[in-house]
Amino acid sequence: MFAGLPGTGIGGVFYILLTLFMPLRELYLTARGRGSVERWKFVGSRFILFAGVIGGLWLQMIILHALVGSETSQMMSMAASGGGAMSTAGAFGQAGSKLLASGAGLSLFALAIVIGAVTLLRFAMIAKQRLGL
Amino acid sequence: MVASARSVGDRAQRVTWNPRMIATQETVEAAGSTVGTATMEPALELDLHARRRRASKAPTPVWTSADPNGKPRTLGGLTIIIPAYNEAKFVADTIKSVQKQTVHVDQIIVVDDCSTDGTGDVARACGQDIVVIRPPKNCGSKASALNFALDYVSSEFTLAIDADTTIAPDGVEKLLRHFENANTGCVCGMVIPRRVQSLWERGRYVEYLYAFTMYKPIQDYYGRPMIASGCFSAYRTDLLRLLGGWSMRTVGEDMDLTWSMYKLGWDIRFVEEAVCYPVEPHNWNFLSKQLKRWTAGFAQCVRVHWRDLMHQPMMRSLVAVALWDALAAIIGMFVLLPALAIFVHPLFLLGYVLDVPSVAVPVLVAAKKRGEVKKALACLPAFYLMRFVNCWFVLTSFWNEFVSKRRITVFEKGH
């Protein structure tokens, strides 16, 4: 998420989710009297930016479908958006449903695994500390 | 933290931290070529924590009356440190950009890190307000050179910029405003390459526009920019001292410092409007050194800080996602896509550029603001080559760091 580091796979999905969460956070802050017009403007600009990104990806998928067919374009997107995600799905032995078959679904799945894993690791650390291990 | 210049030990003259004392060229020369360690008094640590506790919605004043030139002054003073090793070609531009700032700068310190190209003389020629210090021997790293200079700093705020980086005239003012929040320990700015000519500079240009438009503003919104770029960041000096200056345990001293500040509960801000212009590596030799340092620095910071990161929900998620993405990109680019292209269909090679919309849209939005749409479009292909190269360096750095344990400890200048 900084220059020198590759990857726009689950990071892209993660940042879209963070953007989607922004209005909720702003509503909460506004309700507590800590609202800010500047921040609302920022949230609006983020939404426009991500709408542009999603619109662009959608357009690209339509073009790809037309050129190479839906199956190939879907596989392409899976391979590009998260090689790691694909391996994760593979590890679950083809238990993937149609959701996992799409690039976005795969990325979401991988993101959940990653966030879940670090959260579990944290709980394990706390437990270890409490047990004095 | 032990700066090489500090290893002179007993001979060293201690520079006592005094808020009223500003180092000049004369006092520096009087102190000789050795300096002591500006230690953190216990009272100062307590004061820092007390200030954090006092932090409230009410802004704390940063500015005081203007100087004779009408430039606003910071209350506790501002020192700008410019570490330089063989930067005779660029350091004058850097100093001039500092002198043209819209705020009063109390002290400009150039660390001539035993350059052999006359960097110190070039810096001295820029004006009498420039303090040039030269350690007895080369510090060996940027962190060490910065720490060497930190001993001479007596202002409340310290700003560090690279010797090949110029700043927009209002850049420093825009950064310093954010210290009105008493809990803000560091503020960093936007980075745009100054020269965009070679393939690598073009790739870096897109990379910066992308990272600083797409990711960093969101990280800032949630109060956790992943890194305060070392080429242009301002800090509270007492916090820097509390942390022992710039750490030398990793080769990514800026990331290390950022994560250490989070550990202590301080905030860091990213200011998109405060722009700096570094010179980026123009050839493979410099690029490879820089990428080796950056990727190894990231791996080392993860190794050093992972336990602390676990207790910070946003940071642990950001770092975990960045790690996963980097590793997934390696598998995708080096294994999956070539395999699919060979065994299934050559069209799978398109996978390398399948995320064009998600890169191009934010880059073009940022470029439009700067009136550089054509330039950004022309540079876009270089980004994809750059990303491929990044993958290689992430792979080798992670391998060296975590598998073969051949860790990079020598700081190689990337430009």
CB B252 within 8 A of CB B301: yes
Query: Which H helix or E strand runs over B372?
Result: none
Q: pLDDT band at residue B188, thresholds of 50, 70 and 90?
A: very high
Distance of residue B389 Cα from the nearest chain A Cα, in angstroms: 9
Which of A118-122, B100-104, B295-299, B335-339 is least confident?
B335-339
Sheet holding B107-112, edge to edge: B130-133, B107-112, B78-84, B157-161, B232-236, B184-191, B267-278, B165-167
- What tokens were used for B269? 């801000």
Partner-chain contact A79 B391, CB within 8 Å: no
Q: pLDDT > 90: what percent of chain B? A: 68
CB B400 within 8 A of CB B407: yes
Nearest to B398 by CA among B317, B284, B287, B322: B322
Q: Does A29 touch chain B (CB under 8 A)?
A: no
Q: pLDDT band at residue B7, thresholds of 50, 70 and 90?
A: very low
- pLDDT tens sequence across B30-84: 544 333 334 445 555 656 665 665 555 567 778 788 888 888 898 889 999 999 9
Q: How far apart are CA B392 and CA A6, in angstroms?
A: 10
pLDDT of residue B142: 93
Picking from B218, B310, B316, the nearest residue to A18 by CB comes out as B218
pLDDT of residue B78: 95
Report phi then psi at B238, rounded to 5: -65, -30
Nearest to B179 by CA among B249, B129, B234: B234
Instruction: Return the higher-pLDDT residue of A69 and B366.
Output: B366
| Over residues A102-115, mean pLDDT | 82
Partner-chain contact A79 B336, CB within 8 Å: yes
pTM of the entire predicted model? 0.85
Q: pLDDT band at residue B363, thresholds of 50, 70 and 90?
A: very high
Which of A111-115, B5-9, B54-58, B406-410 is least confident?
B5-9
Instruction: Return the higher-pLDDT residue of B207 and A1.
Output: B207
Q: pLDDT band at residue B26, thresholds of 50, 70 and 90?
A: low
Mean pLDDT of chain B: 86
pLDDT of residue A95: 41
Size (chain B), residues: 415
Quick count: other Cβ atoms within 10 Å of Cβ B88? 18
Residues of A in contact with B388 (CB under 8 A): 6
Report phi then psi at B365, rounded to 5: -60, -45
Quick count: other Cβ atoms within 10 Å of Cβ B353? 14
pLDDT of residue B349: 85
Report phi then psi at B191, rounded to 5: -120, 125
pLDDT of residue B150: 95
Q: How far apart are CA B308 and CA B268, in angstroms?
A: 17
Query: Which H helix or E strand runs over B117?
Result: none
pLDDT of residue B37: 39
Quick count: other Cβ atoms within 10 Å of Cβ B337? 21
Q: Establish how many alpha carbons lie within 13 A of residue A133's alpha carbon, considering only the half-sphere containing its beta carbon.
A: 6
Q: Determine the residue type at B265.
A: G
Residues of A in contact with B337 (CB under 8 A): 79-80, 83
- What tokens were used for B8? 């002179």
Nearest to B357 by CA among A45, A16, A110: A16
pLDDT of residue B69: 84
Chain B contacts in chain A segment 94-113 (CB below 8 A): 110-111
pLDDT of residue B139: 92
Residues of A in contact with B254 (CB under 8 A): none
Strand bridging mode B107-112 / B165-167: unpaired
- What tokens were used for B52? 């954090």
3-state secondary structure of B64: strand
CA distance to B252, B326, B397, per residue, from B304 (Å): 11, 19, 15
Residue B389 pLDDT more than 90? yes
pLDDT of residue A65: 77
pLDDT of residue A85: 41
| Over residues B304-324, mean pLDDT | 93
Picking from B320, B347, B394, the nearest residue to A6 by CB comes out as B394
- What tokens were used for A89? 């799905």
pLDDT of residue B322: 92
Partner-chain contact B321 A22, CB within 8 Å: no
pLDDT of residue B18: 38
pLDDT of residue B317: 95
- What tokens were used for B408? 């990079």
Distance of residue A80 Cα from the nearest chain B Cα, in angstroms: 5
Residue B344 pLDDT more than 50? yes
Q: How far apart are CA B31 and CA B297, in angstroms?
A: 34
3-state secondary structure of A75: helix
- pLDDT tens sequence across B394-407: 999 999 998 988 88
CB B187 within 8 A of CB B176: yes
pLDDT of residue B332: 86
pLDDT of residue B15: 36
Query: Which H helix or E strand runs over B18?
Result: none
- pLDDT tens sequence across B367-386: 999 999 999 999 999 999 99
Picking from B213, B333, B354, the nearest residue to A76 by CB comes out as B354
Q: Determine the residue type at B36.
A: G
Q: Does B368 touch chain A (CB under 8 A)?
A: no
- pLDDT tens sequence across A12-63: 889 989 999 999 999 999 999 988 899 999 999 999 998 998 888 888 878 8
Nearest to B105 by CA among B185, B161, B55, B145: B161
- pLDDT tens sequence across B229-260: 999 999 999 999 999 999 999 999 999 999 99
Instruction: Return the higher-pLDDT residue of B344 and A117.
Output: A117
CB B147 within 8 A of CB B230: no
Q: Which ipTM value was assigned to this complex?
A: 0.82
Report the DSSP beta bridge partners of residue B278: B165
- Who's near B48: CB < 8 A, 6+ residues apart? B238, B239, B242
Q: Establish how many alpha carbons lie within 13 A of residue B204's alpha carbon, considering only the half-sphere containing its beta carbon.
A: 25
Partner-chain contact A122 B311, CB within 8 Å: yes
Helices B356-369 + A37-68 axis angle, to 10: 140
- What tokens were used for A57? 């990806």
CA distance to A8, A85, B31, per residue, from B329 (Å): 8, 10, 52
Distance of residue A131 Cα from the nearest chain B Cα, in angstroms: 17
